[in-house]
Amino acid sequence: MLVFPEILYDVKKNKRSNKKAEVEKDEKHEELVESAQQILQLLKIEDDLLNPNFGVDRICESLSLTKDQVNYCFTVILKTKLAALKKELRVELAKKELQNGMLLSLSMEGIWVKAGFSSKTSFFVAFKEVTGQTPLEYVKSLDNQ
């Protein structure tokens, strides 16, 4: 009984809601939609994408936005997180390298390093999450086409 005081005292525990709190629209929503597009363009620049220190601070600095504005862009407009977006774009880079036959001149390690991943494990996990295939399965599917 002492282990479960909610039973003894009929107290209900506060359960965290799985629902995300609704974010109020910013009064500058329309301007921030344009900023979100600029963020996407910035992310597609390979030098930034491959930089392991690239983050919200770099976006704020490059686009003259506050952290709150950048977070609003990701949360409300893009409906994704920076890490997820970076992962998807890095996997796309790796896919291009594999499609261009770079596996013949580089090892798989060379591919994941060139795509900006920090380890073999993070590369394989991210690749499988994004494409539904391992990198080797992806290469074999290219050969079958």
Q: Is the pLDDT of residue 21 over 60?
A: no
Contact of 80 with 74, CB cutoff 8 Å: yes
Select the more confidently predicted residue: 2 or 98: 98
Task: Return the closest-CA partner of residue 63 out of 90, 34, 87.
Answer: 34
Q: Report pLDDT digits (tens) over 38-83.
A: 998 888 876 667 777 788 998 999 999 999 999 999 999 999 999 8
Q: What is the pLDDT of residue 133?
A: 94
> Is 85-144 a CATH 1.10.3470 domain?
no
HEC profile for the chain?
Answer: CCCCHHHHHCCCCCCCCCCCCCCCCCCCHHHHHHHHHHHHHHHCCHHHHHCCCCCHHHHHHHHCCCHHHHHHHHHHHHCCCHHHHHHHHHHHHHHHHHHCCHHHCCCHHHHHHHCCCCCHHHHHHHHHHHHCCCHHHHHHHHHHC
Q: Report pLDDT digits (tens) over 96-132.
A: 988 888 777 778 888 888 888 888 999 999 999 999 9
- CA gap 83, 56 in Å, rounded: 10
